[in-house]
Structure 1
Amino acid sequence: MYTNNKVGNVIYKVIEYFGDDVRRINHFLKVYGYAKMIGERENLDDSMQEILEVTAVLHDVGIKVAEQKYNSSAGHYQQLEGPPVAKKILDELGYPDDFVERVMYLIAHHHTYTNIDGMDYQILVEADFLVNADEDRLSSDAIENFKEKIFKTTTGIAVLENNYLNL
């Protein structure tokens, strides 16, 4: 399923999509950076790494529609509204259907922390949390709790402890 498409093209399209919403652009770029690094250090195969990176870029595209439609950026609205936006972007860039389906699935579940069914999903959740912990100024207790319940990768745990728990 590895496509050898350029993730930079997806990044460019999502920057266009968010327009002047620099906060959203910076958020997905930070999540992308963490996801790329964790995936590489956890030795994902090329196919899963590409899915992870593309999903990290697209994971919050539903927020724009959610805010317009529901006047809310709540996670469940992002999960609902994100997949159709992602599909449109990936179809325009010529990604294959099975690739697009997995990306849409991950976007539709990235705020759901039960039944994590793959390393791409696990790392996406960890990368998003690493960024949200800072952006939302989470307490040490909240971070420690999330670490114990959700984090699984050696790299994600090490970065979380280094950045937030000073372990």
Structure 2
Amino acid sequence: MGLLYRLTQAMIDFYMGDPNRIQHFIKVHSFARLIGEGEGLDEDTLFTLEAAALVHDIGIKPAEEKYGHCEGKLQEEEGPAPAAEMLRSLGFDSKVTERVCYLVGHHHTYTGVNGMDYRILLEADFLVNLYEGSSPQAAVQTALANIFRTRTGTQICRTMFDMDYISS
């Protein structure tokens, strides 16, 4: 079985008994892969993006245990260590592990985006969060203006939320 399959299973085990969190990372992974393929990412970047999408919220659980809540910055602080541990235990390459941990540690930081994997992870997470939060159209429009930069992510967001489509 491939590494991404094994990572998915490890994350399902990590969030045992928490179907909402399991559903969340599965959806973020699916959108990340879809956007990554639509944007023509090379195989290595797509692999790193998919791994990051699977573990992007791994910091929630340690943040809740340590602080009693899990706001975004705490997720960024608490996520890289358990992500690195999980990735290493599954045999991920150190270069991939390093980049995934960077993305986990920045997935709620919307400035200084350095790479398509980072950009796409933000967009995929926003697609799911906008839906799961039953966000109003104004919030979707704000996200479109401030977060979405890829052609594929923008098109998915506009279509999903029935926004007036403007081709670029």
Q: Same fold (TM over 0.5)?
A: yes
Cα distance in structure 1, aligned partners of 2:124 and 2:115: 14
Task: Verify: 1:74 aligned to 2:74, yes or no.
Answer: no
Number of residue pairs aligned between Structure 1 and Structure 2: 164
- Tell me the CA shift for residue 166 of structure 1: 3.2
Residue 115 of structure 1 aligns to a residue whose secondary structure is coil
Cα distance in structure 2, aligned partners of 1:136 and 1:70: 23
Where do 4+ consecutive residues of structure 1 move more than 4 Å?
none
Of 5, 10, 35, which aligns to 1:8?
5
Task: Verify: 1:88 aligned to 2:94, yes or no.
Answer: no
Partners of 2:148 and 2:154 within 8 A in 1? yes
1:98-157 Cα offsets, whole Å, 9 max, x none, are: 111100000000000000000000000000000000111111111101111111111100
Query: What's the Cα RMSD here?
Result: 1.2
The aligned residue for residue 148 of structure 1 is 145
The aligned residue for residue 53 of structure 1 is 50
- Tell me the CA shift for residue 50 of structure 1: 0.2
The aligned residue for residue 133 of structure 1 is 130
Residue 13 of structure 1 aligns to a residue whose secondary structure is helix
- Tell me the CA shift for residue 5 of structure 1: 4.6
Of 108, 120, 124, which aligns to 1:123?
120
In structure 1, runs of 5+ residues without a counterpart are none
Aligned-residue sequence identity (percent) comes to 41
Between 54-63 and 146-155, report the one with greater CA deviation: 146-155
Task: Verify: 1:37 aligned to 2:34, yes or no.
Answer: yes
Residue 109 of structure 1 aligns to a residue whose secondary structure is coil
Cα distance in structure 2, aligned partners of 1:25 and 1:149: 27
Cα distance in structure 1, aligned partners of 2:140 and 2:70: 21
Partners of 1:140 and 1:165 within 8 A in 2? no
TM-score by length of 1: 0.95
